[in-house]
Chains A and B, each alone.
With several copies, the nearest count.
Chain A
Amino acid sequence: MALPDGVQYRTFDGEERLATRGEAVYGEPVVDGWRAWDAHRSKLGAMYELGMEPGLDAGDRVLYLGAANGTTASHVADVAGPTYAVEFAARPMRDLLSVAETRGNLFPLLKDARNPETYAHVVENGLDLLVQDVATRGQARVARANQRFLHDDGRLCLAIKARSEDATREPDDVFADALDDLREGYEILDSRRLDPFHADHLAVVATPR
């Protein structure tokens, strides 16, 4: 498995860790302009650590849904080209804005990912990658609603949180149902549980069908 240009394993304090080049954001260690990417704080980081291929390439155009305070989105923007970062909550937006301050290619949007019409006049079409990390019910539905932004060979990189879908059911059952929903619009290329980095999360890589 090859890491994309712009993502490397670097040595921090004697330890090999995933890293990207950019301004530090959340107190992570920086060596020679490379900042450590903490797989415990980032599902996308965990996917790399687990050997998955999320489909991020240097210079890609990306839509990031559920950007939160920008921890992961900052690493994505370090690697990618234009990066649209959608977040619904007002509170984390303050941190996301300071991440965007040093990243001219990161475009923060205080919008609801369930209503793509409210940002389709801003986010361009034909994107290379849709990263989705929303903690809301109906995560597969959100992925399908935002499929319109991807080009035909684009990638969806989705983290599904079982408890957000249905806290009363077994994660495996929840994941199976979510994958079924997803298959109505996407072909699943890979899927894996994110243990031990993130409990009860399933990571999915898919492409539009």
Chain B
Amino acid sequence: MSEGWFAGLATDQVGAERVREGSADAPDAWPDRAIEAGVVTSEEAYYDRLHEATTAAARTAMEERERADDQQVIHAVRAMDDAGRMANELAERVAEWAGSRDAASGTGIDYCRELAATDPAEPADERLVSLAERAIELDDERDALERYVERVVRDAAPNLAALAGPTLAARLLALAGGLDSMAKTSSSTVQVLGAEEALFAHLRGQAPSPKHGVIYVHEYVRGTRPEKRGSAARALAGKLTIAARIDHYAGDRRPSLEADLDERMRRIRTGGEDDGAA
């Protein structure tokens, strides 16, 4: 026999875990059953407790799912980078081998697609065509992973994804070790995530302090002229850190963040303030 979510619930227990973990083969007249069982004294009281239990359960489950999602993004973005790198390496190998057999051969994934469409004439061609197919599949895999990353990172860290773009957001999460860690990281650390080698060289006194890590790929850093790039990187890192904190602690979308960033960048790019002065 199936039991309701409230079965055996003490008066001081919310029952959120029962809502999340329980199950039943069939529904029942749960409000009546709860009153019969003495868990509540009225239908009104039942629905009050149900409201409390279901909202608490939904909130915890949602937060767990989102926490888990940022970890999935990290694995996916690493797999994406692997697949992309391997696709390119294999395409290079294909081009090198094909070049030894056909002076008119090409290079890159596009050439692999051409080659894969041909009928192999000899055993070597069979292997070469097959190798080209592996390169294409890895390239397609990379794209599928990117689409997955984009979708999940928009759920797991919507503000960060909006400000950084989904792929950069995923890379930042991967470098920080998750949304939780990134939310607890200083803006100056976020600024140089991905430039750890340069940073360690700086700390050993062998190099200047790096101005940016992986955030360099953002248009607001790369597209800013060199003498303002440090300011731009600092401003961007600041907003990204705030976005990560909102995503972690609040979770709602704040379109104003983008407007703020746009405005700040406009001032940096047009203003007299440059790196030395900032």
Do any CB atoms of chain A lie under 8 A from CB atoms of chain B in the complex?
yes
B54 touches A126 (CB 8 A): no
Distance (whole angstroms) from the CB of B28 to the closest CB of chain A: 6
B62 touches A107 (CB 8 A): no
Give the distance in Å from the alpha carbon of A97 to the alpha carbon of B252 in the complex.
12
Give the distance in Å from the alpha carbon of A122 to the alpha carbon of B56 in the complex.
14
Distance (whole angstroms) from the CB of A104 to the closest CB of chain B: 5
Q: Does A100 contact B (CB under 8 A)?
A: yes
**Per a CB cutoff under 8 Å, which of A90, A101, A121, A125 touches B62?**
A90
B51 touches A121 (CB 8 A): no
Give the distance in Å from the alpha carbon of A118 to the alpha carbon of B18 in the complex.
11
Q: How many A residues are at the interface, by size bracket?
A: 20 to 34
Q: Does A209 contact B (CB under 8 A)?
A: no
B54 touches A109 (CB 8 A): yes
Q: Does A89 contact B (CB under 8 A)?
A: yes
A90 touches B69 (CB 8 A): yes
Distance (whole angstroms) from the CB of B248 to the closest CB of chain A: 13
**Per a CB cutoff under 8 Å, which of A109, A118, A148 touches B26?**
A148
A122 touches B5 (CB 8 A): yes
The winner among A100, A101, A110 for most chain B CB atoms within 10 A is A110
> Which chain A residues numbered 84 to 126 have a C-beta less than 8 Å away from chain B?
89-91, 93-97, 100-101, 104-110, 117-126
Q: Does A149 contact B (CB under 8 A)?
A: yes
Give the distance in Å from the alpha carbon of A49 to the alpha carbon of B58 in the complex.
32
Contacts of B97 in A (CB 8 A): none
Q: Does A154 contact B (CB under 8 A)?
A: no
Q: How many B residues are at the interface, by size bracket?
A: 35 or more
Q: Does A66 contact B (CB under 8 A)?
A: no
Distance (whole angstroms) from the CB of A138 to the closest CB of chain B: 14
Contacts of A120 in B (CB 8 A): 2, 23-27
Q: Does A82 contact B (CB under 8 A)?
A: yes
A93 nearest CB neighbor, chain B only: B62
Distance (whole angstroms) from the CB of A192 to the closest CB of chain B: 30
A95 nearest CB neighbor, chain B only: B252
Contacts of B154 in A (CB 8 A): 91
Contacts of A82 in B (CB 8 A): 47, 50
Contacts of A119 in B (CB 8 A): 23
A97 touches B5 (CB 8 A): no
Please name 16 pairs of A and B residues whose Cβ atoms are closer than 8 Å in the assembled complex, sorted by A.
A89-B155, A93-B62, A95-B252, A97-B62, A100-B54, A107-B50, A109-B54, A109-B58, A119-B23, A120-B23, A120-B25, A122-B5, A122-B54, A124-B28, A125-B29, A126-B29
